[in-house]
Structure 1
Amino acid sequence: MRQNATTFMSAVSTLCGILAGAGLYALSVTSAHAGALSGADAEDGIIVTARGRAEAEIAVPDSIAVYTPADIAARKLTTIDEFIAATPGIFMIHDQDPGTNLISVRGVSTNRNQSPSIAYIVDGLALPDAELFTLRPYDIAGVEILKGPQGALFGRSASGGAINMTTGDPGPDWGGEASVGAGNGFTWTADGVVNAPVSEQVQLRLAGSYRNSEGFIRNSFLDRKVDGSISRNLRLKAKVALSETGTLRFRLGWANEEGGAAYISSGNVTGLYGGRLSGAALTDPFGDFEGRASRTWWGAQATYEQDIGESLRLIWTGGHDDYHKDFVEELDFRNDPVVTVDGFPFPGGLQPIAQPVDIRAWTSELRLVSRDPGPLRWHAGFFFQRLERDRTDDFGPLLFGAEAPRAETRSNQIGLFAQASYDLTPQIEATLALRYDSDRRKEDTVGTQSGAIFARRAHTFDKWQPKVSLAWRPTGDFTAYVTGAIGFKAGGFNPLPGPSDLWQADFAAETTRSVEAGVKARLADGRVRLSLAGFVTDYENFQNTVFLGNSVVLSVPQVDVHGVEASAQADLGAGFRVDGGLAWTRSRVGRYTTPNPTPEPGEPLILDLRGKRTPNAPDWTVNGGLGWQGEAGPVAISARASVAYVSRVDFEIDNILHSPGYASVDSRIGLTRGPWSLELWAKNLFDKRWAISAFGQQQLPLLLGLGPNGPFDSFTINTGRQFGATAGWRF
């Protein structure tokens, strides 16, 4: 332990030294632009609300990626997957079905069917479950992605970071916009927004989005595309001015999606290619069962804001989410007349397998915020969330006639939080934030037919999560900072283990302890923006998900994470603008030995996985883009080309199945004349192929014993090139 602490502090000292040198250089460059700190917010065009109040991004002592409406349009960002792919240091896997996803932030990962490691806030309300993360975003006013533990701000499940999204608000003027699009894969889209003020006090905004696609991935056995989908979305927002100091806001949302799922390929990648998923290993799916999924969500939110005198504001927000998903697949992903597992025949194959999910949640937060722009700025509040989550694991023929179990999970989370920022001098700000979260969880495992209770478990996971920052701002164009924070993610309950199973019935909470040092600068009258940050994270009880006849979590006691991130933006003149960012994150397993899940002759019964890469956490993520804006007579033209690079991705903790590094290029050109617009776009322009997820025979006993002619690995390929055109009209 002493050695770990010494290494941790040594790494912190090195980071601070490097960043201090960078800070002195940046300060010497920006000294000509010295100005009052109080004017920073007014001068900076990038305003964020990550710390509970509107402030300049350059002044915030955190790493934040910000996407304005102009950024979203220029990059053609239409899903949360694309926002994350555009952000170095964060990585997402979205596979199996529309709701299942894994997000890694600086090596801190989300696991399947459990709590996320990143908080996702929409219009000030935290989404209760990762299933809701992939609902289609539309009419977006802005997105902020915070990296590093944010538990002091957003509570449990923000151990890796947070996503803060705001949607378009009602305004005082009539108007709106509409667009229709078409693309390859017989893809059709339609989006619209109408702003409708009823009176000076009441304003409405209606937004909708529709997408219908035949798909891009072909099943060679069924001879048809199997990843097609239809997405329908509606949202109504209202803003009511109750008085000069009080405002009431409402939001109603609905989404419905249906389409293909689990379009998974099969092959002996481990044996034939050493686990490398590239080239000839990337075969199309050829199973004889077409996976399907459908889901419906509706949600309601109310927010009340009341100014109290000149110095305080009271904010209450509350909401309800209701969600249902149906999902059916096969588990062999092959088309043999008789599938075998360890020699036992299954004439109908391993199908159908169903995992329906139901979610109901009630969320409420009360916050008191100081409005005084003086040297002390603070807020404090209370948070409550009730989550009811039911998941059925119907493994069809693998149950051998037994009834399917349903996990009924109930969670009551309360949070108490406060944050204060104080200007020690006109140039130095100190911030202290503290939050206490208690998550009381209960889970009953019941029979879906008999209602019999097979298991009943309960546990309370709680944690104090502090965050301390020190920021030095000698000018309005430069900030150097050091931030230390703790985050945690609640533990949970595995399926009940049998006598010979490797897992425990319960698994522990995750904890992250991180120190970050960074600098941010604006040069050349704001035409150039630079940022550099380094971090060290102590990651305890990483919840590693594996499939051992069911999805289970095996806790990894220690993961060591450190890295460096940098970004730059510059207006080059003549309408050209360049931007780029890179992140290097080294996330490696510390001490960890575990029983071999698939022991074969000559293999050890106990595996030492120290030094392995953590799953789904690439070392390098790099993004860069070049844009141009100009005019040709009455037509405004905008164009952009961008490239994204992801280094090797290991899909499991044994580091056998992996995708080598890959790069993709996106492009867009837009034409606007008056209220009319036309854009042509392409994603993955050069049609590069890679695997987006995989399960390996050395981690899953079922795949090791799968026959005939096994063993096999299972993996999902990307969709390949997409392109299309969109026409829009503003009114």
Structure 2
Amino acid sequence: MFRAIILILLIVPSAMFAQQTEVSGNVTASEGPLLGVSVVEKGSTNGTTTDYKGNYAISVRNGATLVFSYLGYKTQEVAVTGNTIDVTMEEDASQLDEVVVKGFENVVGQARRRAESVQSIPESVVTFTAKDIETKGISNVQTFADQIPNVNFTTSQNVGNNFITVRGISQIRNGDAPIAFVIDGVTLPDANLLNQELFDVALIEVVKGPQGALYGKNAIAGAINIVTNEPTNTFRNKFQVGYGNGNLLQAQLSSTGPLVKDKLFYRISGSYKKGDGLLNNETLNNSPDFIEDLSLRAQIKANLSSKVSATLTGQIIDTEAGAVYYASPTNGSAKIAPDDYDNLGIVADQRGVGTLKGTYGNLKVDFNLDKVKVTSLTTYNEGKRNAFGDLDFTPADVLRQDQDSDTKTFNQEIRLGSVTDADSKINWDLGAFYQNLDKTLITRASADFGFFGPPFEPTGTQSPLAVGDFTNTYKTFAVFGFMDFKVSDKLTLSAGLRYDSDNISQDNRSEGTKPSRVDTQLQPKVSLAFQATDNMLMYANYGKGYRTGGFNQGQTVRYDTSFNAETTDNYEIGIKNSYWDNRFILNVSGYYIDFTDQQLYALVLNGGAGQILIGNFNVAESLSVGFEADMRIRASNWLDILASYGVSKSRIENGTSTVSTGANETIDVSGNATPLVPQDSYSLGLESRFDISDKIAFNGNVNLEGTGEMYWHEDNAAVSPRYSLLNARANFTFEKFTIGLWGTNLTDTQYITEFFDQTFSNGGSDLAWLGQPSAYGATLTYRF
């Protein structure tokens, strides 16, 4: 008995003082972060795996050893001597020779602001990991959007003028995008910055369906979630340079490492691009689509304690590019079919110039408490966009235009989320959000009608016309909550709710008015997920979508002084399948969207003594119905087959529109297709990765992307036929070097990305924005 007591007295203090150590870090290989690496405390069952950034976190005993293992790489054991351990894995050729065909990686994403498998999320989600981004050569939204069914992305007029359409919900000019554009958890409200250069990125997610419960207003059609690479505790550097036709020069650089080991880390990255252009202005005999872009991002991360970390991020964007180089008919007619490329040409007498300058700063503070994680996000964003160029789009120097589109935004968000494990039945998030957003739009026009020049010829002196000048201010307060409840091992119920209050006011300097109003909206969302088998998830969800309204610059025959908020009721059902040891992935979904007050865009060009009058209006009821399928097959260790297809049928159920020519006729557009929505889309691709020799590795892809018919106006008179673009890329890696060859639109297909029928603009003729012709080039990447 006495001996037993002595033994207990010796053991209990030892157990009491066996302290735990919180360890985190990053795992990479030569090609970048590794997803799914097993990290286990040696001699125990305590373990975890790395996420899409290669990050991991684990609590271990003092003096423990961590074992890092991954199929095809050498297992490493590292003694725990601090709180941060980064590991670089080395390939094991002997393992690779014996490996059977591996399935696709089980990507863990953050579509719902928590780490979870994409195949377990009751949403339509498409992801691109760091490996995908490199293989596909993704550099901005435009380079990946058209690979996703029922998503279409285009640009026109000038840099920063972007248009994205998702499931029949389109973006309107100078309006809010129908998706949330999220970088590292922060939603950027400025649609001008939607197509910014993407570099040093770890993950891209596109989630479709209303995401207002998590991301707030204007996420009416979904969200694009961009996750950049984080600062690390080891020094890593990457440099890339490239050259393409049109005298295109590209360069990227990233560098990361510790400033104070285990405590303070940095990451600096940047992108530079300069090109002369590929199109031709027949009047000026030069390329109107030139570009020069410089983007820089810096991050500082501090581990203030084992429970608190802070990350400060700053980014600048400075772009100058060609602008307003619309093509007009060259056959002497004012009217032309959207696909009559033989009679479309750029003939403007002015070389348009557009600029985009962006400044972004964010402070993120994370508090990792025992059962709750608290995050504070404080953000300032400023964007300045300007476009100058021709307005009559003819060789005559008659009309010119100049436009400023500027935004200033301050955001403050506080989020609380549960810290749970695999056995938890409930995950939850709560938060509050405040935003102050100023959106300024100044539109100028000038004219030289030649009344004083013989005989009625331009004199070379431009006279200013009336100017549109106003600022819309949005002050938003929102509260939100989201919860997952695991009803059983197979059934999960998710529910979210967000309340937005938007105080909208305008300082209209053109009209001398200052209208204001308050819009409020509840955005509920409910999802039900049923894990029918280990390989099949079935789901259904309902969500309310909300896009804010606002004030126009004035009243015209086409629109009023204000336009209402747009709301939707969204219903979706889907199934996600993973078979053949994860070598066959097939996800299918169908949706039904009921619109109230859908927003459309109106242009009155040259109306009111030469003004450029632009605004938005509502149609009372609209409907969008469609389905989409996304398939991946790993035929072998060196060949993947990728395919997707989507159909989107969107129409106006009840609405009218006023034509701004002749007698300003009001027409009934009920039953017509909604403009700017491709009727269907598809993508078919082949990807390959294999070792050419012990020192040379290959990866490459070829992809065919198709865009269906598109109606350009609500009368459905002008319609573009479907077109397909063929793109390809090949990368050869020699240890630290990678040589890449790429090409886009290899068949040199002609297409347009925007069309203005004179009937709806009161302009001099139909106008079209030409798509980019064939482009090709090479890149060299060095990692050190």
Fold conserved between structures, TM > 0.5: yes
The separation in 1 between residues aligned to 2:491 and 2:48, in whole angstroms, is 15
Query: Partner residue of 2:393?
Result: 333
The separation in 1 between residues aligned to 2:355 and 2:659, in whole angstroms, is 36
Query: Partner residue of 2:452?
Result: none
Q: In 2 relative to 1, CA 190–72 (structure 1 residues): closer, same or farther, beyond 3 Å?
A: same
2:268 and 2:299 in contact (8 A); partners too: yes
Query: Which residue of 531, 535, 560 corresponds with 2:587?
Result: 531
Query: Which residue of 416, 420, 430 corresponds with 1:368?
Result: 416
What SS does the aligned partner of 1:542 have?
Answer: strand
Query: Could you give the per-residue CA deviations for residues 478-523 of structure 1, whole angstroms, max 9, x where no partner exists?
Result: 210000000111111112226xx34211111000111000000110
Query: Which residue of 127, 146, 149 corresponds with 1:88?
Result: 149
What SS does the aligned partner of 1:287 have?
Answer: coil
Query: Partner residue of 1:359?
Result: 407
Query: Could you give the per-residue CA deviations for residues 311-337 of structure 1, whole angstroms, max 9, x where no partner exists?
Result: 11101111101222221122110013x
Query: Could you give the per-residue CA deviations for residues 108-155 of structure 1, whole angstroms, max 9, x where no partner exists?
Result: 111111222111111111102201212211111111111111111111
Is 1:238 matched up with 2:291? no
The separation in 1 between residues aligned to 2:487 and 2:105, in whole angstroms, is 23
The separation in 2 between residues aligned to 1:700 and 1:459, in whole angstroms, is 29
CA shift for structure 1 position 270: 12
1:384 and 1:415 in contact (8 A); partners too: yes
The separation in 2 between residues aligned to 1:269 and 1:195, in whole angstroms, is 57
Matched ranges for 1:713-728 at <5 A: 713-728=766-781
The separation in 1 between residues aligned to 2:737 and 2:50, in whole angstroms, is 34
1:270 and 1:697 in contact (8 A); partners too: no
Quick check: which has more Rg, 1 or 2? 2
CA shift for structure 1 position 595: 3.0
Q: Which amino acid aligns with 1:520?
A: K
Q: In 2 relative to 1, CA 629–125 (structure 1 residues): closer, same or farther, beyond 3 Å?
A: same
CA-based RMSD of the aligned residues comes to 2.1
What SS does the aligned partner of 1:72 have?
Answer: helix
Aligned residues between the structures: 662
Query: Partner residue of 2:162?
Result: 101
1:489 and 1:510 in contact (8 A); partners too: yes
Is 1:431 matched up with 2:431? no
The separation in 1 between residues aligned to 2:532 and 2:622, in whole angstroms, is 37
The separation in 2 between residues aligned to 1:75 and 1:536, in whole angstroms, is 32
The separation in 2 between residues aligned to 1:577 and 1:631, in whole angstroms, is 15
Query: Partner residue of 2:191?
Result: 130
Q: Which amino acid aligns with 1:220?
A: E
Query: Partner residue of 1:289?
Result: 350
Query: Which residue of 590, 608, 614 corresponds with 2:674?
Result: 614
The separation in 1 between residues aligned to 2:558 and 2:252, in whole angstroms, is 49
Is 1:460 matched up with 2:518? yes
CA shift for structure 1 position 400: 6.7
What SS does the aligned partner of 1:394 have?
Answer: strand
Q: In 2 relative to 1, CA 652–56 (structure 1 residues): closer, same or farther, beyond 3 Å?
A: same
Query: Partner residue of 1:3?
Result: none
Query: Which residue of 367, 380, 387 corresponds with 2:437?
Result: 387
Is 1:321 matched up with 2:381? yes
What SS does the aligned partner of 1:355 have?
Answer: strand
CA shift for structure 1 position 593: 2.4
Query: Partner residue of 1:254?
Result: 316
Matched ranges for 1:274-673 at <5 A: 275-281=337-343, 283-309=344-370, 311-336=371-396, 348-351=397-400, 353-373=401-421, 374-397=424-447, 401=464, 404-447=467-510, 454-497=512-555, 501-548=557-604, 549=607, 550-599=613-662, 605-633=665-693, 634-673=695-734
Is 1:48 matched up with 2:109? yes
The separation in 2 between residues aligned to 1:136 and 1:391, in whole angstroms, is 24
Query: Which residue of 253, 258, 262 corresponds with 1:200?
Result: 262
TM-score calculated relative to the size of structure 1: 0.88
Q: In 2 relative to 1, CA 619–403 (structure 1 residues): closer, same or farther, beyond 3 Å?
A: closer
Query: Which residue of 143, 149, 168 corresponds with 2:204?
Result: 143
Q: In 2 relative to 1, CA 671–216 (structure 1 residues): closer, same or farther, beyond 3 Å?
A: same
Query: Could you give the per-residue CA deviations for residues 653-676 of structure 1, whole angstroms, max 9, x where no partner exists?
Result: 222233210001111111001001
Q: Where in structure 2 are there 5+ consecutive unaligned residues?
A: 1-46, 52-103, 449-461, 608-612
Q: Which amino acid aligns with 2:512?
A: F
Give the number of the structure whose residues are more often helix, by fraction. Answer: 1
What SS does the aligned partner of 2:399 have?
Answer: coil
1:666 and 1:683 in contact (8 A); partners too: yes
Q: Which amino acid aligns with 1:394?
A: R
Q: Which amino acid aligns with 2:766?
A: D
Query: Could you give the per-residue CA deviations for residues 241-298 of structure 1, whole angstroms, max 9, x where no partner exists?
Result: 01111110111101100121111111289978763324424x2301111111112111
Q: In 2 relative to 1, CA 725–362 (structure 1 residues): closer, same or farther, beyond 3 Å?
A: same
The separation in 1 between residues aligned to 2:712 and 2:425, in whole angstroms, is 48
2:409 and 2:437 in contact (8 A); partners too: yes
2:210 and 2:544 in contact (8 A); partners too: yes
Q: Which amino acid aligns with 2:388?
A: V
What SS does the aligned partner of 2:193 have?
Answer: helix
Query: Partner residue of 1:226?
Result: 288
What SS does the aligned partner of 1:218 have?
Answer: coil
CA shift for structure 1 position 40: 12
- Give the % identical residues: 25
Q: Which amino acid aligns with 1:260?
A: G
Q: In 2 relative to 1, CA 53–656 (structure 1 residues): closer, same or farther, beyond 3 Å?
A: same
1:217 and 1:284 in contact (8 A); partners too: no
What SS does the aligned partner of 2:481 have?
Answer: strand
What SS does the aligned partner of 1:303 have?
Answer: strand
Q: Which amino acid aligns with 1:387?
A: L
CA shift for structure 1 position 358: 2.3
What SS does the aligned partner of 1:83 have?
Answer: helix
The separation in 1 between residues aligned to 2:645 and 2:355, in whole angstroms, is 37
TM-score calculated relative to the size of structure 2: 0.82
Query: Could you give the per-residue CA deviations for residues 351-387 of structure 1, whole angstroms, max 9, x where no partner exists?
Result: 1x11112221111110000012300110100011111
The separation in 2 between residues aligned to 1:84 and 1:526, in whole angstroms, is 25
The separation in 1 between residues aligned to 2:775 and 2:717, in whole angstroms, is 30
1:278 and 1:690 in contact (8 A); partners too: no
The separation in 2 between residues aligned to 1:418 and 1:512, in whole angstroms, is 20
Per chain length, whose mean CA-contact separation is higher, i.e. which structure has more relative contact order (CA < 8 Å, sep 6+)?
1
The separation in 2 between residues aligned to 1:640 and 1:93, in whole angstroms, is 23
1:270 and 1:276 in contact (8 A); partners too: no
CA shift for structure 1 position 44: 5.7
CA shift for structure 1 position 606: 3.1
1:270 and 1:656 in contact (8 A); partners too: no
The separation in 2 between residues aligned to 1:212 and 1:401, in whole angstroms, is 33
Q: Which amino acid aligns with 2:688?
A: W
Query: Could you give the per-residue CA deviations for residues 613-651 of structure 1, whole angstroms, max 9, x where no partner exists?
Result: 212111111011101111222210112111000111222
The separation in 1 between residues aligned to 2:573 and 2:105, in whole angstroms, is 22
Q: Which amino acid aligns with 1:254?
A: I
1:269 and 1:275 in contact (8 A); partners too: no
Deviates more, 1:39-48 or 1:692-701: 39-48
